[in-house]
Amino acid sequence: MTGARDRRDLPLAALPLLLGVHQIVEAVVWDSGGGSGPATLVWAVIALPLPAVWVPAVWVPAVWVPAAVRCAAPPDARRRLAFLLALGVATAAGLAAGIATGPVTAAILGHTVGYSVHLSHPTVLVAGYLLATVGSPLLSGDRGLLALGAVVAAGAAVCFALWRLEFVSTWCAFAAVWSVLLLGWLRRRPDAAHSP
């Protein structure tokens, strides 16, 4: 977050901190052998609605990744990002409902952790989640964010393929790489990147 030169970049700059907390939580889930304990629930809250949703002080959904990208995007791109923001809110509501009605469980699957959350329309929610979180940087109108979006899209596909094979859990390493790329983007930003 210290690399942010403009307050509009702070929500994006905070994302690596959230990803780091998430990695610590998953280590606790892994160490406990999975199950349905508090760490599993915290993992699900961070992994599912939170990246699609920004929770400012209380659990009232307002979209995190799409909102953060919209904040950092050039003024002329913010209008087209409003749809992805609304999509993120709707997706987050569905994901949060699945978590709230439970159960949320985790199981060690080979060299990965598999999580189970009962979702009413999983295909629709996953599609909405990916469109909101990956689509936002791709439509941001900022070259650096577009590159980050391309990395996120490719990384999501690779992580999913490796997870399905139960080969190795790669999302933590991917989150670290993305965080370093985000830091580089923040450092290259001019002091006054956009108008208020």
Mean pLDDT of the chain: 79
pLDDT tens for each residue of 126-151: 888 888 888 999 999 999 899 988 98
Beta-ladder partners of 108? 113
Which pLDDT value is given to residue 192? 45
What three-state secondary structure class fits 117? strand
Strands 112-117 and 104-109, sheet pairing: antiparallel
At 19, the amino acid letter reads L
Let me know: does 102 contact 25? Beta carbons within 8 Å: no
Of residues 94 and 159, which shows the higher confidence score?
94
Report the C-alpha gap between 9 and 59 in whole angstroms. 22
Report the C-alpha gap between 168 and 69 in whole angstroms. 30
Average pLDDT over residues 56-61: 28
Which pLDDT value is given to residue 119? 83
Q: How many CB atoms lie within 10 A of CB 17?
A: 11
Beta-ladder partners of 107? 114
Report the C-alpha gap between 185 and 140 in whole angstroms. 13
Report the C-alpha gap between 127 and 44 in whole angstroms. 17
pLDDT tens for each residue of 172-181: 677 777 788 8
Tell me the pTM: 0.77
